[in-house]
A = this chain, B = another copy of it.
Amino acid sequence: MVCEIVTIGDELLIGQVLNTNQAFIAEKLNSIGIDVGRMTTVGDSSASILQAFEEGMQRADIVIVTGGLGPTHDDITKKAAARFFDSELAPNPELRTRIEEIMQTRNIAWTQAAEEQTMFPKNASIVKNPIGTAAGMLFSQGEKPFIILPGVPYEMEAMMEQSVIPLLAPLVHGSVIRHHTLRSSGIPESILAQKIGPLEEILDGAALAFLPSAAGVRMRITVHAGDEPSASQKIQQVEKRLLEKVGRYVYGTGNDELEQVVGRLLADRHLTISVAESCTGGALADRITNVSGSSAYFERGVVVYSNRSKTQILGVPDELIQLHGAVSKEVAQAMASGIRSVAGTDIGVSTTGIAGPTGGSPEKPVGLVWIGYSDRSATLAIKFNFGQFRLNTKNRATQATLELVRRKLLQID
């Protein structure tokens, strides 16, 4: 079963925004065994949109379109679709109720634009938008599903997950493609590959891709099989062999984030944590609190950007900072034990470093980061160098701190 993805928007054709929607949709479709045959991007022009619709319908079994469903003049996808499917736009009471609700909740007055959002093609079904006012559309002419979603990524993503995938999954039968991803942290791609060794025996017909990023290296296993059970079995086999080789670096699978994994470990053990950040500037607390329910184990965080705040909130002695500098093993340790003590938590962690691009010196170059850890049995700090780029250093230091906590909790050396 083959799908084509059509993304609409002048902002894409001028290179102003990255087309993340295409990749998101493709990945979701793949996960249920639907291949993407082609991706097409056209601008906000009726002729281009209609041509792309026509071609997609000719070539593919399913067409998914995003973009141009908003309330302003350049949003012409709805009209183009109505024309393409010989339909009329009519006021839709269900949509009106939904839009009124949203505008009431957000305390926004009713406008002509809202009125137009209530118009909907007569022969389409609504694909519910759990977040915004622009509804998605499903046309089912000739048994080929033709689905139109808004281009705003978080709205589109919610609709793909909650409505489109459940709708399409039952249509797929025959052979299946399954992907399974192992997520590692704290080890470079080349060393990971070396530790895994020759692939033929491990993979036995499956495929493996290494996907490096600032968060770590993902390993993606791909299996083609006759049915779901044999695909699952094959993936389990390959996963088991990989974990035997490099399991200690693997913190999760699929879309697991390290903060979720660490959060579960803390919650299961009834442990609490607090963080004292300098160079990560709040990114660590932000990651931890992205997890729903984190208030059960996250007591507090402090972003101690000034030396005064390190002393005042954490009790780091001013002399220690004068003697070793704010970016030092001693201060990282004092920050970790300080936050642990003042917050009264089981674990305290800290970051202090030179995020750059300025402020480096020969002994303390840009990218140098000390990460501190303290629990009731020990306080320690580890040195890293994360390179030249400020945001990359913040990300990598945050990830390394979470990974340090994971390894401590699991007693991995």
Query: At the interface with chain B, which of A6-14, A120-128, A224-232?
Result: A6-14
In the assembled complex, A252 has its CB within 8 A of some CB on chain B: no
Residue A361, interface by CB 8 Å:
no
Tell me what chain A mostly uses at the interface: helix, strand, loop, or mixed: mixed
A-side interface residues, number (CB < 8 Å): 116
Most B C-beta atoms less than 10 A away, residue of A113, A193, A283, A303:
A303
Stretch in contact with the other chain, from A67-75, A243-251, A328-336, A370-378: A67-75
A300 with B289, Cβ < 8 A, contacts A74-B210, A190-B113 known: no
Q: A282-B284, A285-B282 are in contact. Are A14 and B179 (CB under 8 A)?
A: yes
Task: Assess whether B18 is in contact with A190, with CB atoms less than 8 Å apart.
Answer: no
Q: Which residue of B lies closest to A18 (CB)?
A: B23
Stretch from A80-88, A233-241, A384-392 contacting the other chain: A384-392
Copies in the complex: 2
Cα distance A41–B3 when bound, in Å?
A: 13
A16 at the interface (CB under 8 A from B): yes
Q: Is A223 an interface residue (CB 8 A)?
A: no
Asked if A54 is an interface residue, CB under 8 A from chain B, the answer is no
A161 → B minimal CB distance (Å): 12
Which chain B residue has the least Cβ–Cβ distance from A190? B113
Q: A317 in the interface, Cβ–Cβ < 8 Å?
A: no
User: Are A213 and B13 interface neighbours, CB within 8 A?
Assistant: no
- Extra contacts besides A14-B36, A130-B388, A301-B305 (15): CB < 8 Å: A15-B22, A15-B26, A15-B29, A19-B23, A19-B39, A38-B41, A40-B41, A44-B209, A72-B190, A111-B191, A275-B303, A281-B286, A281-B294, A282-B287, A299-B309
8 Å CB interface, A277-296 against B: 277, 280-290, 292-295
Q: Closest B-chain residue to A116, C-beta based?
A: B190
In the bound complex, CA of A308 to CA of B300 (Å): 9
Question: Which residues from 350 to 374 on chain A have a C-beta closer than 8 Å to any C-beta of chain B?
Answer: 355-358, 367
| Segment among A101-109, A140-148, A261-269, A404-412 that sits at the interface with chain B | A101-109
| Across-interface contacts of A25 in B (CB, < 8 A) | 15
